[in-house]
Structure 1
Amino acid sequence: MLGTAPTLMTEIARDRAFILWFDEVGIDDLPLVGGKNASLGEMIGQLASKGVNVPNGFASTAAAYRYFIAQAGLEPKLQRIFADLDVDNLQNLRQIGEQARSLMLNAPFPQELELAIANAYTQLCDRYGSGADGDLLAPIHTDLVECLHHTDVAVRSSATAEDLPDASFAGQQETYLNVHGVKQVLEACHKCFASIFTDRAISYRATRGFDHLNVDLSVGVQKMVRSDLAASGVMFSIDPETGFRNAASICAAYGLGENVVQGAVNPDEFLVFKPTLADGFRPILQKRLGSKAMKMVYDVGGSKLTTNVPVTEADRAKFAISDDEILTLARWAVIIEDHYSAVRGIYTPMDIEWAKDGETGQLYIVQARPETVQSQKSANILRSYRFTSPHQSTIPALTIGSAVGERIGQGSARVIFDVHQIAQFQPGEVLVTNKTDPDWEPIMKKAGAIVTNQGGRTCHAAIIAREMGIPALVGCSDATTAISTGQAVTVSCAEGDIGRVDDGLLPFEVIETQLSQLPPTHTQILMNVGNPDAALGLAAIPCDGVGLARLEFIIANQIKVHPLALLNFDLLADATVKREIAKLTLGYPHKPDFFVDKLAHGIATIAAAFYPRPAIVRMSDFKSNEYANLLGGRQFEPHEENPMIGWRGASRYYDPTYRAAFALECQALKRVREEMGLMNIIPMIPFCRTPAEGRRVLAEMAANGLVQGNGLEVYMMCEVPSNVILAAEFSQIFDGFSIGSNDLTQLTLGLDRDSELVSHIFDERNQAVMAMVKMAIATFRANGKKIGICGQAPSDYPEFARFLVEQGIDSISLNPDSVIKTRLEIARVEASLSEIGGRSA
C-alpha cells in the first residue's frame, strides 16, 4: 500500500488474500484489486484528510479471481473458445462472448471465496449499523447472514488492466446497484466475474492489444450513496472536449449515476475555473440546464434492483445541485488531480464519478480514473477542422446537439434503435440512435460519426468516442426522426460546444500546425473571440490574449432578449413575445437576472480561456435595427433612417431611456471581476464620438460599481474620425485604444458598408484610411497610451499588417483562422525592419 513498508510476510499474505478493504490498498495495488478499487483505496487513505468523502467498502482480489478460474478448471476451456475469435465479425464476437460468460456463470464459486465475501459484507453491514455482533471471521451460514444483514451496496467490476493513463475501459464490465444481503452480493460478484467477457470488453481489449486471459478481475463492494433520493453525475478535472486544463467540467442529473454514465439522460452541465477557485472566488463559468427527463431509483417492492421514473416538470426546470455543491465538487476535482499528478510525477487529469446522498445531504466521490484522451494529445501540434465553404448561412441544420470530439465527420447515415441490430452497420457510416453505451463499442470504432438523441458530453459513449477519435453529437432529442437511413450527412463538432448535422457531404479540410516552430514577435498578437462556446478550444492557439470580445454575440445567441424587455417584462404589449420570453427565462422570477447571468457566464468563459492574459471586452454595439430584432425589442427601439451612424455605442449608455439596460452589462462585468476573480478583463467603449461623451460613460460605469483605476483599465474603440483628430484629448480619459478599421474606413470614406451600391469603394487600404490609422498610432503612442487594432483588415491583407508593424502598433487582434499565418508574416516583417533600422519610433 502506498506510504507503508509492509513486511515480506505481509506482502505475501496480501498477494494471496481473497479480500482487501479499501483502506488497505492504494494506487500501487492496481495488479491486486484493479484500477477502480485501487483508486478508491488511494483516495480513502490519502485524501480523506483533505475533505474528500469516499464511501467505504472492500474488494475481492486478483488472487480470488485466479483461484476461481483455477478451481473450476476454466483456463484451457477459455483458451479454446478464444482461439476462434474475430472481433470484426459481430456474429462471431457475440457467440464467443456468450460462450465465455456462460462458462463463467455455470462454474460455482469455491466455498472459501463465498465465505470470504460473506464475512466481508457482514463486517461492512456492522460498520453501517445494520449487522449483528459476533466473530465475523468464523464460518458463517449464508442463510443466517441473509436474515441479519441488509446494507445496500454497489457491486462494481474493476479489471487489472482498467483505468490506465492511456486506456479507460469505461463501462466495459458490469456494475450492480442497490444490492442487499449476502445472496445478492454473491450473485452480483459472480456476474461481475463473468462480465470480464462482455462483447464490448472483448472487442475493446482486442483493439487495445490486451490478452483476454492475462487480465484479472477484482470486484468492489461499496456502501451505496443514496443518490436515488438526490443527484449524481460525472466530472472531469479538465474540459473533456478541448483539453483546457484550467476548468473542471461537471455533469449532474437526479437519481443514481448510471443514467448519466450511460447517456440515458441529458444532464445539467457546469464549468468551473480552477485558478481563481483556489483563490477563494466563486468562478462558475457556465451553467446549462439539462432536460433530466427521468431518474434511476431503488425498485422498492419490485422485481428489479433499480428502475427509472419520470422527473417532475418543476425539478426538470431547476438545476440538480446548488452553486455551493458545484464549487465543492470542483475543489475536490482539483485535490484529486493534484494528488494523482504528484504520485505519477506527470500531469494527470482525472475522470471522476460523484454522488449526493439524499438522506444526509453529503457529497461523495465514488470513482476516479485518469482521463485518457486529452492527456495523450501532443501539445506541439494544433489540429483544426474547417469547412472550405460557408455552410450555415441559409440552410438550417437537420439537428443540433452537444458536440464531442472537435472534428468533422460524414458519411451515409444508419439509424439503429436496438443494439441487437448493430450487425446492419457498415464501416464508415454515421451511426444515428437514441443513445449509445459501451455495448455499441464494436461498431463505434467503425463509424464516420455518431449522433444520438440522448446523453451528455461526459457519458461513457462520449468518452470512448473521444478516445477513438470519432466526432459525436449527443443530446439532439430528434436525431432519429430528423435523419434517415441512407441519407448522406455531415456532422460538425468543430465549431464550439453546439454541433450540427447538415444534409449532404460538405467539403472540409484538416489543418495541422507545429506550434513549437512558431517564432516570437515584438508586436502583441491578440485574437478576436465572439463565441464563448468556442473560447476554450481557441485558447490553444498561441496568442497574447483577446483583442476583441463582442457582447453582441452573447446577447444575440445566448440571451436573445432585449434588455429593456426584461426590465419591463410586465409591461410588454405583445402576448406572444411575452410567452416566448417567459419560456426562455424559466427559473428567473426577476427577469433581468437572466440577462446578467447569461452575459456574465459568456464574458467569464472568454476571459478564463485566456487568463491571465488580457481579454478586451467591447460593451454592446448593436444598432437600433439590430436591437429591434431581439425578442421584445420592437417595443423599445426607435426607427432610424440610417442606424449605422445613429443611436449606438456610447450614446446609449448614459441616455435616460437606455441607461438601466447598460447597468445590466456593468453588473455582469462586475460579477465576473469581483465574484469570479477574472481581473484580466478590460472593458472597451465603442462608437464614442466626443471626449465629453467618454466622461459621461465612465461616470455611468462608476455609478454601477466599475470604477476606473484600482486595477480596472477602460479602453476605447478608435473608429470615428473625431477619435483620431482628438486623440490627445481622448488619451486623457481612457487607458488604451483599439482601432476599428471597419467603421473607421466607412466614416473616413463617407459610405455605408452595408450598402451594396457603394461596397466596391470600401477598402481599408485606401490612402485616406491608412493616413488616419498612421495618425492615430502616432498620437496615442506620443501620449503614452497603448494602441492596437481589432478590425478585419490585418486578417485579410498581409500588406496591411506589415503597414501596422512599420508604424509601431502595440498589438494586432486577428480572427482565429488568421492568427498563425499573420504571426508568421509579422515575424518576417519585424526581422526585415530590424535589419533596416527598426520600427517607427
Structure 2
Amino acid sequence: MIEANSIREVKLNKTGYIRWFNEIGINDVPLVGGKNASLGEMVRELSAKGVKVPNGFAVTAEAYRYFLLEAKLDQKIAETLRGLDTHNIGDLRRRGLQIRQAILSATLPADLEEEMIAAYDDLSEEAPHPLDVAVRSSATAEDLPDASFAGQQETYLNVQGHAALLDSCKRCFASLFTDRAISYRADKGFDSLKIALSIGVQRMVRSDLAASGVMFSIDTETGFKNAVLINAAYGLGENVVQGSVNPDEYTVFKPTLLHGFRPILQKIAGNKEFKLVYDIGGGKMTKNIPVPADDRIRFALTDEEILTLARWACVIEDHYSAKAGRETPMDMEWAKDGLTGELFIVQARPETVQSQRDRNVMEIYRLKKRGQILVTGRSVGEKIATGKAHVIKNVQQLHQFNAGEILVTDKTDPDWEPIMKRAAAIITNRGGRTAHAAIVSRELGLPAIVGAERATEVLKDGQEITVSCAEGETGFVYEGKLPFDIDRIDLKGIGRPRTKVMMNVANPQEAFGLSFIPNDGVGLAREEFIISNYIQIHPMALIDYDKLEDPSVKTEIDRLTAGYADKPQFFIDKLAQGVAMIGAAFYPNDVIVRLSDFKTNEYANLIGGKKYEPTEENPMLGFRGASRYYHPKYRDGFALECRAMKKVRDEMGLKNVKLMVPFCRTVEEGKKVIAEMRKHGLQQGKDGLEIYVMCEIPSNVLLAEQFAELFDGFSIGSNDLTQLVLGVDRDSAIVASIFDERNPAVKKMIATVIRAAKAKDRKIGICGQAPSDYPEFARFLVEEGIDSISLNPDAVMKTTLMILETEREEAA
C-alpha cells in the first residue's frame, strides 16, 4: 500500500482551494486548520523517522469562505447568531438548525466542485480498488494548546465516489454550526464568524478489518509525562473516540522504551463488545456488529504493535516539542490496516488539559469514610463529587437536566456538551479514558467514571450518590453523600532535606499521581496488594493447574486468566506489571519492593490456596517471609516472583527497582534466599541489583553486623519489631494499648541498628507506620542519623517540613 510520503511531488493548484498533505505544515493552521496542518507536518517531517500517515489532501479554509460568499451565507449566519444565549438550550438549537439547513441547501461553486473531484481522482490512482476516504473537519481554531475543540465538527468515514464526497464535504461545513460547536466557541471566547473550516480528505485505512484507537503521550488522569497511554478496539476508531465500547488500555514507559527495552507497564483488556465496519449505502456507510466472545477477551494489539505505536508517540511528541520550544504532550489517533497489517497515525494534536495544569499547587481529594459501592468503572481525574443522580437515556431528555446534578448515561457525544458543563460529575456505561465523556470531563475539571457498564440500570433519578475518582484508576460510585477533604499543597519553595523522604506505596493505580508529591522514591512497595487484587490466585494453584481436582477452583482460575494458556505466566505478567507501574512512576529514584509477606491464613484466602497452606495457631510468627522462599512447599511459587522481578528489571529496564527480603530470622536463612534468587536470574550486584533485608526481628538488630555482610541495606519494619520487642500481638485488641513504637526499648533497638549499619557502610531506612503517625518519632529518627524515612503518602509533606526544621536546628 502506497503512502503519502513516497508518492507525490508537490502539486500546486490553480486557485489554491486544494493542498496536498505534503504541501502543508504546522504553520498553515490559518489555511487548512489544526488537524490538516498536523497531518501535513507529519507527512513532511516524520515519515523519514518511520511514522506512517495515510495520504490525502486539504480543502482549504479559503474554499469555505468562497462557498459562504458565493451562496450569500455569511450575512445569514451573522444575523442568526446575533443575541445568542448559549445557556438557553432551546434557542441554541433553533438557531443552529437554521444555519445548518441553509448551508446544506446551498450549492457549492462549480469550480470548487471540480477541484475537489479532480483531487479525489488523483488520490484514487494510488489505490488498487475504488477509493474509500475519510472526510474530516479541520477548523482554523482547533487543536490549540488550551482548547482541543475535540469532536466539535463532524467526520465521515468510508466515503466513496464523487457525489458522496461532495455531500460529506458540505456536511462538514455545516457541522461548524452544530449546537455543541457554537456553544463551545462561545464559552471559549471565539467569534464564530472569524473561524473557518478546512476539510481533510484522507485515504481510509482498512481498520474495519483490524483495530484502531487513541493514544496520548502523557497519562491523561495524572499528567505523568513519562507514559504513553494507548486505547484499542476492533474496527474503525469512532467507537473508541465516542466511547461506544470499553477498549483495551495499554501503558508504556517512555524513558526505557527509548533505550531499547520493552516497558509495557500495563495491559487491561476491555470488553470491546462491538466493532464499527464498512457498510454499503446511506448515511456514513458504516455499521456496528458484535465481536465474537473469544476475540473480546484477546488484546486487540500485539506487544510489538503496542511498542511501535509508543515509539511513534515519542517521535511525534519530540518533534512538536522542538517546534513549540517547550514540552508538548500529544493526543493521537491510530489505525491498523487489516489488509496489510500496517499501522498508521491518522491524527495528532496537542493535549490540552494536563499539559496546562499548574504543578506548583497540588490538590489531594480524600474520602473521610467509604460507603456501599453501587457501581465501578474507569476513573477520570482525581476528584470527588456528591449530588443527585440524573439518568439521561437520549438526547431528547437533555433539557430536563439541572445544574449540580450528576449525569448518568450510556455514553456522551458532542451534542451533550451544553449540559455536561452544568454537571457535578459524569458517569457512563461505556467508553474508556480516551472517550468523549472522558476528554470533556477533563477539560471541565469534573470527576467522571466511564465504562461503568450498568450505571443507568443501577442508579436511580434523584438518588444521592458520591463519585470518587481519588482512589486510583478504578472509580467508585458510593451510595449517599459521603464526607471528603481537599488538601491543597503549595509546592513552591519547599527544599529537600538531607534525610531522604520516601513513600510507602501498595496500589499501582495510585503510583503516577503520588509521584507528584515531592519525594526521594519508594521505601516500601508491597507485593501483597498486587497479588490479592490483580492476581487473586495462589501461585502454586497456577503451577499445579492441570492437577487441580476442584472444578470450582479451575473455573475461577479460567475466568481470571482468560487468554492465558500458560497459567503461571499470568502470575508473572500481572505481578511484573503492578511492580513496574510503581517503579516507573518514581523512576529514576529507588523503588524498594518487598517480596511477598503474606501469612499462611492470608495465602489460604487466595483462590486455590487452602490446598497449599497449613493451619497455624499464630500465623504472624509462622510460615511467612524468607522461610517460604527456599522451602519445598513454596519454592516454585517464589520462582514466579523472581521471574516477575527479573522481567521488570531486564525486559522493562527499570533498574531502579531494588528487592527486599521480609522476616528473615537468621543469617543462614538470608544466604539460602539470596541463592534461590540467583537461580532465577536475580544476581546481587549485577546491573546494580541491590537486595535489602527488613529489620523487624530482634535477631536482625543483635546480628546486624553479620546481616550487613550479606545484604546491601536495612529497612526497619517498626510494626513487627515493636511486636517482637514488647511481646505484643499487634492483631490483638485486648493488648493494643501496650503496642507503642515510642517505647524506650523499641527506640533503643532502632538506635542500635542504625549505628551498626552506619559502621558497616550500609544504607538504613524505616518503612513502618510510626513516623507517619508520630512526628516526634520521625524527629528521633533524624537525630539518630537514619538515611531515609518511608511514609504513607498523606504524611509526606508534613513530615518533610518537620525534618527540614529538625535538620536546621541540628546545623545551628
- Asked whether the two chains share a fold, i.e. TM above 0.5, the reply is yes
Matched, 1:759 2:736: yes
Who is 1:742 aligned against?
719
Greater mean alpha carbon deviation, residues 73-82 or residues 810-819: 73-82
Is 1:435 aligned to residue 411 of structure 2?
Answer: yes
Q: CA deviation at 1:573?
A: 3.2
Query: 1:779 offset after TM fit, Å?
Result: 0.8
* 2:45 counterpart residue number: 46
Deviations 1:291-347 (A, max 9, x none): 000000001467750000000011111000100000000000000000000011111
**1:119: Cα distance to partner?**
0.9
Structure-to-structure mapping, 1:131-530, within 5 angstroms: 150-300=130-280, 305-387=285-367, 389-391=368-370, 395-530=371-506
Who is 2:6 aligned against? none
CA contact (8 A) 1:715 1:735 kept: yes
Tell me, in whole angstroms, the C-alpha distance in 1 between the residues paired with 2:393 and 2:432. Answer: 18
Q: Write the deviation string for residues 26-45 of structure 1: whole angstroms up to 9, x where unpaired.
A: 00000000000000000000
TM-score (ref. length: structure 1): 0.94
The offset of 1:106, in angstroms, is: 1.1
1:265 and 1:439 map into 2 onto residues whose CA distance is 18
Query: How big is the shift at 1:517?
Result: 2.2
Gaps of 5+ in 1: 1-9, 131-149, 836-841
Mapped partners of 2:495, 2:641: distance in 1: 38
* Contact 1:16/1:63 (<8 A) preserved: no
1:142 alignment counterpart? none
Does the aligned pair in 2 maintain the 1:527–1:814 contact within 8 Å? yes
Distance in 1 (alpha carbons) for counterparts of 2:730 and 2:595 = 21
Instruction: Tell me what 2:56 maps to.
Output: 57
* Aligned residue number for residue 613 of structure 1: 589
- Contact 1:254–1:320 (8 Å) recurs in 2: yes
1:788 maps to which residue? Answer: 765
Residues 15, 32 of structure 1: 8 Å contact kept: no
Q: Conserved in 1, the CA contact under 8 Å of 2:329 and 2:355?
A: yes
1:732 aligned to which of 709, 713, 734: 709
Q: CA offset at residue 511 of structure 1? A: 1.4
Corresponding residue of 1:720: 697
- Secondary structure of the residue aligned to 2:373 is coil
**Structure 1 segment 598-747 matched on structure 2, within 5 A:** 598-710=574-686, 711-747=688-724
Are 1:582 and 2:583 matched, yes or no? no
Tell me by how many angstroms 1:15 deviates. Answer: 11
Count of paired positions: 802
Q: Could you tell me which runs of 5 or more consecutive residues in structure 2 were left unpaired when the two chains were aligned.
A: 1-9
Moved beyond 6 Å, runs of 4+? none
Taking the aligned partners of 1:210 and 1:449, their CA distance within structure 2 comes to 26
Q: In structure 2, what is the Cα distance between the partners aligned to 1:304 and 1:615?
A: 51
Q: Residue 573 of structure 1 aligns with which residue? A: 549
Distance 1:520 1:699 in 2: 38
SS for the counterpart of 1:516 is coil
Counterpart code for 2:658: I
Q: Specify the alignment match of 1:18 in structure 2.
A: 17
1:521-600 alignment, distance < 5 Å = 521-600=497-576
* Letter of the structure 2 residue corresponding to residue 93 of structure 1: L
Q: Counterpart of 2:88? A: 89
**What CA distance in whole angstroms lies between the structure 2 residues aligned with 1:577 and 1:474?**
31
User: Equivalent residue for 2:4?
Assistant: none
Instruction: Report deviation, 1:698.
Output: 0.3
Distance 1:303 1:790 in 2: 62
Task: Give the Å deviation of 1:520.
Answer: 1.8
Per the TM alignment, residue 459 of structure 1 is displaced from its structure 2 partner at its CA by: 1.2
Q: Name the CA distance, whole Å, in 1 between partners of 2:714 and 2:90.
A: 67
Q: Deviations over 1:566-590 (max 9, x none)?
A: 1111222322122111111111111
Tell me, in whole angstroms, the C-alpha distance in 1 between the residues paired with 2:83 and 2:550. Answer: 70
Q: 1:30 to 1:14 in 2, by over 3 A?
A: farther
Q: CA deviation at 1:14?
A: 8.0
Q: Distance in 2 between matches of 1:414 and 1:530?
A: 35
Q: Tell me, yes or no, if structure 1 residue 35 matches structure 2 residue 34.
A: yes
Contact map agreement 2:369 2:482 (CA 8 A) in 1: no
Deviation at 1:396, TM superposition (A): 3.7
CA distance in 2, matches of 1:420, 1:41: 39
Q: Give the structure 2 partner of residue 101 of structure 1.
A: 100
Secondary structure of 1:576's match? helix
Q: Is the 8 A contact 2:660 2:694 kept in 1?
A: yes
Rounded Cα–Cα distance in structure 2 between residues aligned with 1:79 and 1:304: 30
Partner SS state of residue 131, structure 2: coil
Write the letter of the residue equivalent to 1:721.
P
Secondary structure, in 3 states, of the residue corresponding to 2:125?
A: helix
Kindly indicate whether the alpha-carbon contact (under 8 Å) linking 1:435 and 1:452 is maintained by their aligned counterparts in 2. Answer: yes
Q: Give the drift of 1:482.
A: 1.4
2:443 is paired with a residue whose SS is helix
Cα distance in 2 for partners of 1:366, 1:594 equals 34
1:97 deviation in Å?
Answer: 1.0
Q: Report SS of the residue matched to 1:197.
A: coil
In structure 1, how many angstroms separate the alpha carbons of the residues matched to 2:86 and 2:325?
36
Q: Which residue of 1 aligns with 2:7?
A: none
Secondary structure at 2:654 match in 1: coil
Q: Tell me if the contact between 2:376 and 2:452 (Cα under 8 Å) persists in the aligned partners.
A: yes
Partner residue in 2 for 1:79: 78
Question: SS at 1:369's partner residue?
Answer: strand
Partner SS, residue 661 of structure 1: helix
Describe the SS at the equivalent of 2:449: strand
Residues of 1 paired with 2:610 and 2:681: CA distance?
30
Q: Which amino acid aligns with 1:446?
A: R
Q: Distance in 2 between matches of 1:343 and 1:715?
A: 45
- Looking at structure 1, the residues matched to 778 and 238 of structure 2 have their Cα atoms a distance apart, in angstroms, of 54
Aligned partner of 2:3 in structure 1 is none
The SS at the match of 1:517 is: coil
Sequence identity of aligned pairs in percent?
62
Q: Does 1:813 align with 2:790?
A: yes
Please give the alpha-carbon distance, in whole angstroms, between the structure 2 residues aligned to 1:368 and 1:459.
16
RMSD of the alignment, in Å?
1.3
